[in-house]
């Protein structure tokens, strides 16, 4: 399954970049990116998702996005948008429990209803029992990070690992930035 969108032209990207870069610093900050992105409601875009995305594409590790990094980021957001829309079957602008389950199954996960419930509860920022676009990205990135950490130890691929206390803590601690 793929949600690839084509890379837009440099002119197109430059136009967007300039509009997002409100203070004309030549870089897009987390605040600028947050303001530019929409989750389909009046609520601000999930700041944690913004941080995760900047962390992924900020090659120089300065906490901002240069124009060189911007194309990849733009494409990433577009791909997620396609993905989100394809699982939002009822076009409600959010993903409910069943839609999340379908999405994760399509990604190759087999998770119990109990765990799906935990995920909805965890990533549903507004207590509506559904997940918005930005929260969906956070949810998927988090799941991916945890799965990678688990796989690293699951060398025989039987879905069970034996780990020490500090190893365990490192795996679960890597999840979220605090500041």
Partner 1 sequence: MYTQPGYYNQPGYGGQAGQLEMGHGPYPSIGAGGTVSPQVQQWFNAVDKDRSGFITAIELKSALVNGQGQNFSETACNLMIGMFDKDRSGHINLEEFDKLYTYINQWLAVFKTYDKDQSGHIDEQELSQALLQMGFRFSQEFISFLTKRCDPKGGKISVDNFIVLCVQVQRFTEAFRVRDTQQNGTVTIGFEDFLKVALSCSI
Decide: is 171 part of the binding site for partner 1 (CB under 8 A): yes
Which tokens belong to 75?
A: 């494409």
Q: Which is nearer to partner 1, 2 or 162 (CB)?
A: 162
Residue of the chain from 47, 66, 72, 93 that contacts partner 1 (CB under 8 A) = 47
- Cα separation, 27 vs 48, in Å, equals 19
Token couple for 148? 């990678």
Among 118, 128, 129, 148, binds partner 1 (CB under 8 A): 118
Q: Exposure of 140 by Cβ count < 10 A (0-12 exposed, 13-18 middle, 19+ buried)?
A: buried
Q: Assess contact for 67 and 54: CB atoms under 8 A.
A: no
Select the residue interacting with partner 1 from 122, 128, 144, 152 (CB under 8 A).
122
By C-beta, is 21 or 64 nearer to partner 1? 64
Nearest Cα to 18, choosing from 80, 70, 78? 70
Does residue 108 interact with partner 1 by CB under 8 A?
no
Question: Residues interacting with partner 1, by CB under 8 A?
Answer: 47, 111-112, 114-115, 118-119, 122, 127, 142-143, 146-147, 150, 154, 159-166, 168-173, 175-179
């Amino acid at each position: 399954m793929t949600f690839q969108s084509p890379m837009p032209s440099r002119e197109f990207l430059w136009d967007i970049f300039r509009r997002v870069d409100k203070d004309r610093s030549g870089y897009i900050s987390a605040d600028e990116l947050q303001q530019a992105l929409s989750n389909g409601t009046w609520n601000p875009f999930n700041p944690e998702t913004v941080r995760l995305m900047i962390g992924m594409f900020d090659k120089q590790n300065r906490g901002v996005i240069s124009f060189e990094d911007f194309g990849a980021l733009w494409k990433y957001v577009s791909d997620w948008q396609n993905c989100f829309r394809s699982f939002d079957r009822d076009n409600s602008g959010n993903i409910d429990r069943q839609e999340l389950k379908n999405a994760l199954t399509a990604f190759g996960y087999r998770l119990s209803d109990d765990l799906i419930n935990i995920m909805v509860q965890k990533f549903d920022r507004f207590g509506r029992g559904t997940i918005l676009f930005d929260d969906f990205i956070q949810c998927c990135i988090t799941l991916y990070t945890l799965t990678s950490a688990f796989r690293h130890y699951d060398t025989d691929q039987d879905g069970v690992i034996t780990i020490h206390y500090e190893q365990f803590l490192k795996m679960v601690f890597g999840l979220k930035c605090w500041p």
